[in-house]
């Protein structure tokens, strides 16, 4: 009786349990670091000073370096590193075509497709290295860069965790639709995550301002209201661009990346 292969079952770079653990810890730390305004308690150091974002901005690159070393030691061989370098260079090369003008972003579709084919661990690193390389190329290095790197890493990591689909015509259409929907959702979420890095200091007073130690529910509602009032237009532009590029380039790039993964002969 014939069996239906799982679409996208190309081999992924193997990752050992230590690398998986370090990746999970880094992702958790990055999420906490980015969402510190929502987690700060009244009277704590993060609510009484402005040291929070600076401390996390210094620690995030160190955490990223540890993850890179662990993943390299845990299964990313020379072929995987070469593929990572190629995709990071492509991300850096295409980002200036968008550079966030009017919300147009030309890198998210590559992060999503790369994470989908090569797995969440590879995608996490690609998000970090791709945004870092593009920042060097576009002059976008600053205290906001670690937050951009981790937010992009979450986008690519999530794409690698999406369920696979059968290798049929309907399965390929379904996969592309799922990636497009995920691209729209992650583009909007990316904007909210970046707002967390400067929203506490952007405005003072009013219904959109950060309340130090105000609690999760109150500050989350204020953050969402601030995002709707200030960055939603850019976030929607990013979502539209990402969906369009996923649908237009996905069929070809997914085949090319999977062919490269099969030739790499990862086990």
Q: Is residue 8 part of a domain?
A: no
Q: Is residue 10 part of a domain?
A: no
Q: Is residue 6 part of a domain?
A: no
Q: Is residue 132 part of a domain?
A: yes
**Separation of first and last alpha carbons in the chain:** 27
Q: What is the pLDDT of residue 2?
A: 45
Return averaged pLDDT per consecutive 10 residues of the chain, 267 residues in all: 52 69 77 79 58 65 66 66 88 79 81 92 88 84 82 92 86 93 95 87 83 83 92 90 95 92 73
Q: Is residue 2 part of a domain?
A: no
Q: Is residue 102 part of a domain?
A: yes
Query: Burial, 236: exposed, middle or buried (Cβ in 10 Å; 0-12, 13-18, 19+)?
Result: middle
Q: What is the pLDDT of residue 211?
A: 85
In order of 12, 37, 203, the CA distances from 44 in angstroms are: 43, 11, 21
251: containing domain: 17-263
| Torsion region of 76: left, alpha or beta (phi above 0 gives left; psi -120 to 50 gives alpha) | beta
Helix orientation angle between 120-138 and 51-73, rounded to the nearest 10 degrees: 120
**Both tokens assigned to 113:** 């497709």
Model pTM above 0.75:
yes
- Residues 136/178, Cβ–Cβ less than 8 Å: no
Here the CATH number for the domain that contains residue 237 is 1.10.1760.20
Q: What is the pLDDT of residue 53?
A: 63
């Amino acid at each position: 009786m014939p069996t239906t292969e799982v679409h996208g079952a190309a081999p992924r770079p193997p990752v050992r349990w230590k690398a998986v653990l370090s990746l999970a810890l880094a992702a958790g730390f990055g999420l906490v670091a980015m969402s510190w305004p929502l987690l700060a308690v009244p009277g704590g150091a993060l609510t009484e000073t402005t040291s929070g974002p600076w401390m996390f901005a210094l620690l995030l690159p160190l955490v990223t370096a540890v993850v890179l070393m662990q993943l390299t030691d845990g299964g990313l061989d020379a072929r995987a590193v070469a593929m990572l370098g190629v995709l990071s260079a492509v991300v850096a090369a295409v980002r200036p075509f968008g550079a966030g003008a009017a919300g147009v972003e030309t890198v998210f579709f590559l992060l999503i497709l790369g994470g989908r084919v090569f797995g969440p661990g590879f995608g996490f690193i690609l998000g970090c290295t791709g945004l870092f390389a593009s920042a060097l190329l576009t002059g976008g290095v600053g205290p906001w860069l670690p937050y951009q790197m981790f937010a992009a890493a979450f986008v690519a990591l999530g794409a690698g965790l999406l369920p696979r689909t059968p290798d049929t015509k309907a399965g390929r259409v379904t996969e592309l639709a799922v990636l497009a929907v995920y691209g729209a959702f992650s583009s909007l979420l990316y904007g909210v995550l970046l707002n967390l890095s400067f929203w506490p200091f952007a405005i003072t007073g009013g219904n959109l301002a950060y309340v130090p130690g105000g609690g999760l529910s109150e500050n989350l509602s204020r953050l969402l209201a601030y995002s709707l009032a200030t960055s939603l237009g850019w976030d929607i532009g990013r979502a539209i661009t990402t969906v369009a590029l996923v649908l237009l380039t996905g069929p070809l790039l997914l085949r090319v990346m999977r062919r490269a993964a099969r030739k790499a002969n990862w086990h």
